[in-house]
Chains A and B, each alone.
Chain A
């Protein structure tokens, strides 16, 4: 699970939570000034690794403007994009047989929040992990912990 902290459209924090069946590790970075580029590259590195081959990415975003930005960016980067506009639709897509391995979810959405979907995905038995990126402007430590612990 990656939690992105985005302020005014700029990534300021990336929290990575790498999980397998036996081992959980949490890595948090709070970049210093000018480290935004490094953080952005780290994020894009991880997306690029996942992106080798045929990769579908689910996006769940209720705002049409932000949804279009996300979709256009990912398509430009060469990904197949599955677009949903609320949490319920996103959750349905993630339960399907060909569920996307990566989901970019807005934290706050009608129906089901991104954070609710995180909890459901964690509880779901799946042969392959689903990676989740949460988009949020929330800035408190407890918000980040909430994102990582669901």
Chain B
């Protein structure tokens, strides 16, 4: 594939955290993919498909006392949800990642429960929004 050497387009997006409930900010997420509804819908599908595995990996890592495993899985989930500007889930995943970094996994189970709650809140909203877009 050839590239014409011209500058790649740049879209700068300002995240406005006052206009959403923290569960997700769909307009900003859409702006981050240059308004590509189809792509955002694909991202939702991937998230819905893969996030249960990451949650399982987090739970298993906590049960095994596997700090590195916890850090990896929490970090991956944190990245995933950031694409939807899902800040509450992002912060819940970040908390787990930091617990993994810090050592004795104290509070990990509670933090995991909080993350699962956020993901459960996020998933149906994402699915509804993505479904609404695809039927337009």
Contact = CB atoms under 8 A, between A and B. Distances in A.
A127 interface: no
Interface stretch (A14-22, A45-53, A114-122, A142-150): A45-53
A80 B3 CA distance: 9
Contact of B15 (A10, A49, A53, A79): A10
Contact of B50 (A45, A64, A77, A108): A64
B102 interface: no
Most buried by B among A9, A36, A37, A47: A9
A40 B72 contact: no
B50 A52 contact: no
A69 B83 contact: yes
Given A54-B2, A77-B3, A66 B83 contact: yes
A137 B15 CA distance: 17
Contacts of B2: 53-54, 78
Most buried by A among B3, B39, B78, B82: B3
Given A65-B43, A65-B50, A66-B83, A108 B3 contact: no
Contact of A52 (B3, B39, B47): B3
Given A9-B32, A69-B33, A108-B72, A78 B3 contact: yes
Contacts of A48: 3, 5-8
Interface of B: 1-10, 12-13, 15, 32-33, 36, 39, 42-43, 46-47, 49-50, 71-72, 75-76, 78-80, 82-83, 85, 90
Interface of A: 8-10, 36-37, 40-41, 44-45, 47-49, 51-55, 62-66, 68-69, 72, 77-80, 108, 110, 137
29 contacts: A8-B85, A9-B13, A9-B15, A9-B82, A9-B83, A9-B85, A41-B7, A48-B5, A51-B3, A52-B3, A53-B2, A54-B2, A63-B76, A63-B79, A63-B80, A64-B46, A65-B46, A65-B79, A66-B83, A68-B39, A68-B46, A69-B83, A77-B8, A77-B9, A78-B1, A78-B2, A78-B4, A79-B1, A108-B72
